[in-house]
């Protein structure tokens, strides 16, 4: 017998999942692409210039993190942000990223901060 349960993450768990999702450039680009509206895997793969298999793996991660949902449409699925507030949070984060001093980022060769 199987039981379905919904796990309600704590605030720090939710932030950690969001951070994990954004830690990969492809996943971040998927989330940014879905801000303007839903998308289909083949369309997203073409827009991002990645294979459909790679995109599928990233979408699975984003679903697991609770950030996107798949909406079945016949034989296809449409992906969208799980909550519109995710798009607003991404907009806010983009504003913060623009204020980051690039000279304070870790050195790509040594991994050390300045």
pLDDT in tens for each of the 114 residues of the chain? 445 555 566 788 888 888 989 999 999 999 999 999 999 999 999 999 999 999 999 999 999 989 999 999 999 999 999 999 999 999 998 888 666 677 776 655 555 554
Strand partners, 79: 39, 70
User: 100: which residues sit within 8 A by CB, 6+ positions away?
Assistant: none
Give the pLDDT confidence score for residue 1 in this predicted structure.
47
In this prediction the pTM is 0.77
Distance (Å) of CA 102 to CA 22, 62, 106: 18, 27, 9
Residues 81/67, Cβ–Cβ less than 8 Å: yes
Q: Which domains does the chain have, with CATH numbers?
A: 22-91 (1.10.10.10)
């Amino acid at each position: 017998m199987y039981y379905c349960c919904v796990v309600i993450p704590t605030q720090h768990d939710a932030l950690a999942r969001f951070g994990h999702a954004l830690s990969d450039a492809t996943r971040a680009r998927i989330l940014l692409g879905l801000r303007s509206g839903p998308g289909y895997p083949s369309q997203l793969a073409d827009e991002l210039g990645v294979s459909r298999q790679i995109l599928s793996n990233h979408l699975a991660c984003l679903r697991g993190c609770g950030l996107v949902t798949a909406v079945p449409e016949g034989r296809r699925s449409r992906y969208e942000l799980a909550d519109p507030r995710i798009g607003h949070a991404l907009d806010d984060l983009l504003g913060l990223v623009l204020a980051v001093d690039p000279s304070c980022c870790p050195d790509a060769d040594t991994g050390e901060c300045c």
